[in-house]
Amino acid sequence: MRAVTISEPGGPDVLTWGEAPDPVCGPGEVVVDVVATAVNRADLLQRQGFYPPPKGASEILGLECSGIVSEVGVGVMGWPVGDEVCALLSGGGYAERVAVPAGQLLPRPSGVELATAAALPEVTCTVWSNVFLLARLRRGETFLVHGGSSGIGTMAIQLAKRAGARVATTAGSQAKLDFCRELGADVLVNYREDDFVERVRAEAGGADVVLDNMGAKYLARNVDVLAVGGRLVVIGMQGGTRAELDLGKLLGKRAAVHATTLRSRPATGPGGKAEIVAAVRHDVWPDVERGVVRPVVDRRLPMSRAAEAHRVVEASEHIGKVLLVNEG
């Protein structure tokens, strides 16, 4: 098969489209003929040599995909050859074929075109597991998501609004903020011009739940913006890995700080990927099929132009997801 491989750690130009070994369908797995995958920030870090895949996972980039089941392993029930699916992956999506644990498959939502469905698994599983299962966002609370125009951000706004929360978000341009407003955001902060702590406090009294992809750079201010009983969930390190935490403020607010990743979770068991995927299928998929929640796709590029897609994401030129589509 063909796949995008990394010649050596570095910039986008180290990505090459060429031959790679076919995946092996193990017990409890299926092989999916990939129609499309999506670019995630984790892919950029792995390309640079900073985010190796978990033990046993494919070295090929790609944390989600959509496609058609072409092979079914021993012990798999309910996913026949020919099913149109999308999947949460630990790696391997930037290829023509990928092996996936059956518990990480989702059916293509009715009303969503198959390639477009590749934009859904990572964002829905990330948002649902962190904002709802972990932080337990409730109706009437205020939710702040940083980077509201990103793939995670566009999904988080929609799901939080659906849940009856007041939604605040940050973004770096008026055009991106306007798009966030269309998705349902109530408090819009241009982080290049305004302080999100002051704005969210002034307009909403603080945030009950914060979903943060910046890490160290925003840690102190995220604690500042929390309301009493607030929950901060850190899911990224774009702004560094080390910062000072004021425990006095945290104690005074009776607040909590969580830090989680999705990729390194086990495939099965409590808190594993299969459990999260099952929750998403039950709690999110019906509204995706009704069009209440929708994937946001900025652009599609051929898989062979993965380097170009990485440049787009690195420059934050996109709104929503950037897809890579197989040309065969």
Domain 124-259 has CATH 3.40.50.720: yes
Report in angstroms the alpha-carbon separations of 61 from 38, 70, 118, 162, 306.
Answer: 10, 21, 14, 32, 10
Q: Is the pLDDT of residue 294 over 90?
A: yes
For range 187-208, the mean pLDDT: 97
- For residue 299, is it left (φ>0), alpha (ψ between -120 and 50) or beta? beta
Percent of the chain with pLDDT over 70: 100
pLDDT band at 182 (very low <50, low <70, confident <90, very high): very high
Per-residue pLDDT at 92: 98
Give the pLDDT of residue 256: 97
Residue 193 gets which letter from DSSP? T
Residue 18, pLDDT score: 96
Return the closest-CA partner of residue 283 out of 193, 162, 190, 195. Answer: 162
Q: How far apart are CA 66 and CA 294, in angstroms?
A: 15
pLDDT above 90 for 78: yes
Residue 207 in 3-state DSSP? strand
pLDDT at 328 over 80: no
Same fold yes or no, 2-119+267-325 and 124-259: no
Residue 17 in this model has a pLDDT that exceeds 90 = yes
* pTM for this predicted structure: 0.97
User: Looking at residue 69, what is its pLDDT?
Assistant: 98
The torsion angles phi and psi of 223, rounded to 5 degrees, stand at -65, -40
Helix axes 151-162, 174-183, angle to 10 degrees: 30
**Mean of per-residue pLDDT scores for the chain:** 97
Q: Taking residues 217-229, what's their average pLDDT? A: 97
Strands (E) across the chain are located at 2-6, 15-19, 29-38, 64-72, 84-88, 97-101, 105-107, 142-145, 166-171, 187-190, 207-212, 226-234, 256-259, 297-302, 321-325
- b/e 264-286 (16+ beta carbons within 10 angstroms → b): ebebeeeebbbbbbebbbeebbe
CA distance 45 to 226: 29
Ranges of each domain in the chain: 2-119+267-325, 124-259
Specify the pLDDT at position 127: 98
Q: What is the DSSP string of 22-56?
A: PPP--TTEEEEEEEEEE--HHHHHHHTTSSPPPTT
Q: Which of 213, 58, 245 is nearest to 144 (CA)?
A: 213
Strand partners, 292: none
Top-level CATH class of 2-119+267-325?
A: alpha beta
Q: With a cut of 90, say whether residue 327 has pLDDT above it.
A: no
Q: What band does 30 get if pLDDT is binned at 50, 70 and 90? A: very high
Calculate mean pLDDT across residues 18-33. 97
CA pair distance 290, 284, nearest whole angstrom: 10
The pLDDT of residue 70? 98
| pLDDT per position as a tens digit, 130-143 | 999 999 999 999 99
**Is pLDDT at 66 greater than 90 in this prediction?**
yes
Q: In Å, how far are 177, 183, 219, 287, 323 from 186, measured between CA atoms?
A: 10, 9, 23, 21, 28
Residue type at 197?
A: V
